A and B are shown apart, each in its own frame.
Chain A
């Protein structure tokens, strides 16, 4: 049996009409992701990788490199222009982009989790922290009120949000605490696959550190496979075993994280690593 949980092949996303010259006139060699012939934006082109169970894969790159686009397509927040992704769930295989809307929703609710940089995307600010988690549990067919409430409390406690704040609106929480509620919500259904998009960006250093610790603990306890998108080399170093480097919509290199950091092959990665140290 393979350890593979996700296989992504040739994933691409072009915003705009597109033209036959889009691909050859964008990418790292052209130093842009905007096609000069038709003005389309090649957000991602030909992204391929495998993710194994329990593994953390990092995707690093600057804004506009296509790292978030990649994850958004996999979480059905965006629709790819072309490419395939296969999710290996126990005995079943799912071609993600061949699923109908209802199947995709069910996949998002039950088998995947997502934590966004912006808590407004991941949380409903009209309802309490506990309500946010309850919402996700309800969507995954848990119906018993007491059971839902107990589980929501446990999850918040696990992510170190005190149970007393369970009935408070996350609007009143600090940024770090909002991220913890998002993580608790993402974990509610114990998904085998978790997407994390710049989850520590913009937080105080000490809060960042605590969130990163929490992510590692979760990986250790639950064996959750994760894709971590970040522009921060420190986050990659701490979390990811393997890393993809993206620029202008392309994967320019990939490897073991320590090798990417100590022996980068591509000119861009060499510059990136040299600037960080």
Chain B
């Protein structure tokens, strides 16, 4: 914990009413029909994310860190728990129960996700890949592209690559395009899954600076970082996850 426990609690209380995301007792278990097996991937997860602050998820592999992010984004259907999101209009939506259309709408307007890998249309130029979330919101094409260019420049993606589809890019370049795409629409809640995993130290610094700047604009973030050092530098709150008991047994069984 970067802040002593007592202080941290005090801080939480002060900010409790403004939390943008409150997760209570989230659990995710996969039921594999073919093997007739239950695979638990996260359990008893409790956390909050506040505007302008970054909550980092830490813990060993298999602790369910990504599973929490995917549950919030509803790429996974949560098995149990409550994922309370405070919308721009001040309503509380339980993302675990929200309708599909409600989730799609929030993804478009309020919740962004930077995954570890870039998934995009194979034939779109890097600029259009980055600008896409703005297109989806109905931002004018030339304005969206201009903002995409600015962001790609900030993240040091060489300008001769901007009009090329990212499929041929290096891992680090792809990662930056991915990041730019997640950041461009300035969502109110940003989910980050190892956003600096394949970046060199110089680029990592640029990304760190960018995340800090975003925090100052009031965006709340829930993030997983590869390096403990980044947790120390960027996290305001740290939540430690441990692998679900049953998962440990399953892993032993498999080994």
Contact = CB atoms under 8 A, between A and B. Distances in A.
B100 interface: yes
Q: How large is the interface on B (under 10, 10 to 19, 20 to 34, 35 or more residues)?
A: 10 to 19
Contact of A209 (B31, B101, B122): B122
Contacts of A52: 101
Interface in B56-110: 70, 74-77, 100-101, 103-104
Contacts, number: 45
Contact of A263 (B30, B33, B34, B101): B30
A256 B122 contact: no
Nearest to A267: B33
B75 A238 contact: no
A256 B34 contact: no
Max chain A C-beta neighbours (<10 A), residue from B30, B33, B74 = B33
B182 to A, nearest CB: 15
B100 A262 contact: no
Contact of A259 (B33, B76, B101, B122): B76
B3 interface: no
A262 B34 contact: no
Given A256-B103, A256-B104, A270-B32, A262 B123 contact: no
Interface in A224-277: 238, 241-242, 254-256, 258-259, 262-263, 265-267, 270-271, 274
Given A52-B101, A262-B70, A220 B135 contact: yes
Interface size class of A (residues with CB under 8 A): 20 to 34
Contact of A256 (B31, B75, B121, B123): B75
B75 A259 contact: yes
Interface of A: 3, 52, 55, 209, 213, 216, 220, 238, 241-242, 254-256, 258-259, 262-263, 265-267, 270-271, 274
Given A263-B77, A265-B77, 6 more contacts: A220-B135, A238-B121, A254-B100, A255-B77, A258-B75, A270-B33
17 contacts: A55-B104, A209-B123, A216-B121, A241-B104, A256-B104, A259-B74, A259-B75, A259-B76, A259-B77, A262-B70, A263-B30, A263-B70, A266-B33, A270-B32, A270-B33, A270-B34, A271-B34
